Chains A and B, each alone.
Chain A
Amino acid sequence: MTLAQQLINGLVLGSGYALIAIGWTVLLGAARLVNFAHGQLYMLGAFIAWAAMTKLGVNYFVAVPIAVLALGLLGVLLQGMMLRLVMQQNLTSLMIVTLGFGYVFQGGAARTFGGDPERFISPLQNANIRFGEIWFTWQDVLTLVCTLVLFGALWLVLNRTRLGALVRSVAEDPKLAQLFGIDAARVYIGVFVFECAAVALAAGLVAPRSPILASMGFDEVILTFVVVVLGGIGSVGGSLLAGLGLGMFTALFGALVSPAYTTAAAFLVLLVVLAARPRGLRAR
């Protein structure tokens, strides 16, 4: 394969990483909450869209919004349960609680949807575009466009609107923000719902690339953690750059060195960076 094709592959992979990571970035930045159920939420998003297509018979472009809506509602429920711990900023307990949630989702999905791999098919996945030796699918184009639009919109909302100012002030100092009459609890619920909805959208766009499994979970999205930390916790622009950079890295490493060890290589980069700069590349 040519270098140009590898770069295209990197862009495709990278836009996926960035899209999967975005909800997590915002959640970490605003609520300092690590959601270890992120991977299982991705899995649920994919399975709900798949179930809507195969059981309800709706088409792909309806199924994905259904999954986004369903996970948004799930987000309200989950954050409602965690709200007391979030307000106390009891981060240790919260991390463990989300691990527990993820485990429940994994068992629940295997019971509901079965333990076999399923094919979640997007009509655009087989629509190829070719330029000589280089090729990609319309699904890749859609993913990239959605990623750029979502990141752009998010950046505008966070930096140019009153809503964004609320989120940023709660992220900065929740107690002080509350003194100024900001309802921090609602902001926390809002960012959590955004995370769940965003990961469902990411699952709808990215998951059709390969068969989906109820047991796929954190390992499936763990690479996005590299994106979140390297891009700088809570930085929207940083995660987009880090996502695309990581996509290029894994595409080139997989093609030139070893496809089996790409995850390990990405994490080694992260470990080296963190040992040198514990707060990520864009240290605050």
Chain B
Amino acid sequence: MKAFATPAALILAALAYFVPSVAGGAPVAYAACTTIAILAVMAYGADLILSYLGEVSLGHTIFWAAGGYAASMLAVNAGWNGWQTAAAAIAISLILAAVLGLVTLRTREFVFSLVTYAAAVVAMEVAFNWSFLGGSDGIVGVPPLELTLFGRGITGSANADLWPIAWVLLMLTLLFVERFRRSRLGTSALMVQMNPDLAQALGVDARAVRFLVFVTSAPISALAGWLYAYQRAYVGPDMFESYFLVLMLTAIVVVGRRLLLGPLIGTALIIMQQTFFSIGGDGDKIILGTVLAAILLLWPRGLIGLWDVLKRLRASARSTTAPAPRQ
């Protein structure tokens, strides 16, 4: 059963490719699916930190915005194509993450969270005031995304054109995260989080692990920001808004941490609520904040915790004599 869980999850995610066309192929369906894919990829960046290091990074909006700014500035000012801007987004986010990772190398818990938050505030102030980055107006008129390989490819700015790219980006992210979970770095990160003393006894350098995971996570959020710039044809200091931060964290915790599809399902639930069942911007804030707080207060393991409750109930109903086996 366990052995099939990961391939099944990946196949399920792959089938999501057909959701917009099955849903009628209306522009709003493509828009919602593209947005969900982009924001889910953004959340996977923060997920590596929260789920595997057990720290709360409030600085991932920096990488998200860095990807968006890299794409729009290079596409607008230098006419770079999609591959080039994507490479630049990755490179810039790696540099920023390395700097921030070094600064926060020795910080833990709330100091880590607050310093990453402070870095995001500084970055927003810089983006808001520096005319090189477009200042408070941001950068407008991002050209259609141009991605060609061997003469074939996609050029487009409509959501129906961007959806295949967003889907590919999402699948690559899922494969990457899946690979990361099984990698030496991923398992070391979990060990550092769960039992730092054991990790140290086994010769794992906790600081190196934390630094590497932090740097690894940055390009994921940056590539999401890269595609977001093309989707909106505009970037601005609003990419630093706490909306994206709260969205990332809620998407990660709502279904359950350390689940491969968790952030994707979480993002889908949130964006569907905001797209199809919105009660106004302020009302949606109340819903998002309430969901985030209520999940952690009531079911700290996420909605998946409800599943366990059901399973236990079923097991105890089936046999009242034998205790339910713990997995």
Contact = CB atoms under 8 A, between A and B. Distances in A.
B121 A263 contact: yes
A242 to B, nearest CB: 14
A4 B285 CA distance: 45
B122 A263 contact: yes
Contacts of B110: 28, 32, 34, 91, 95
A274 B111 contact: yes
A201 to B, nearest CB: 23
B197 interface: no
B103 interface: yes
Interface in A81-97: 81-82, 84-85, 90-93, 95-97
Contacts of A85: 296-297, 300
A151 to B, nearest CB: 22
Contact of B118 (A92, A107, A261, A271): A271
Interface stretch (B15-23, B169-177, B287-295): B287-295
A97 B297 contact: yes
Interface string B81-124: 00000000000000000000011111111110111011101100
A107 B115 contact: no
Nearest to A265: B122
A9 B220 CA distance: 44
Interface string B41-68: 0000000001000111000000000000
Interface in A212-248: 217-219, 222, 225-226, 229
Nearest to B129: A260
Q: Which of A95, A106, A107, A229 has the most CB of B within 10 A?
A: A107
A264 interface: yes
Given A81-B297, A95-B113, A271-B119, A103 B129 contact: no
Interface residues of A, number: 46
Contacts, number: 135
B308 interface: no
Nearest to A96: B249
Contact of B289 (A82, A104, A264): A104
B199 interface: no
A164 to B, nearest CB: 23
Interface in B227-245: 242, 245
Q: Among B55, B104, B280, B297, which residue has the most Cβ atoms of chain A within 10 A?
A: B297
A124 B280 CA distance: 38
A34 B296 contact: no
Which of A85, A263, A274 has the most CB atoms of chain B within a 10 A radius of its CB? Answer: A274
B297 A107 contact: no
A115 B117 CA distance: 25
A274 B129 CA distance: 25
A222 B117 contact: yes
Interface string A268-282: 101100110011000
Interface of B: 50, 54-56, 102-111, 113-115, 117-119, 121-122, 125-126, 129, 242, 245-246, 249-250, 253, 280-286, 288-294, 296-297, 300
Nearest first, the 7 closest Cβ-Cβ pairs linking A and B are A107-B285, A103-B289, A100-B292, A100-B293, A104-B289, A107-B286, A34-B110
Given A103-B246, A263-B125, A267-B122, 7 more contacts: A90-B300, A96-B56, A99-B289, A100-B246, A103-B288, A104-B290, A217-B242
16 contacts: A81-B293, A85-B296, A92-B50, A97-B292, A99-B289, A100-B294, A101-B289, A104-B285, A106-B282, A106-B289, A107-B283, A217-B242, A264-B125, A267-B119, A270-B118, A274-B107
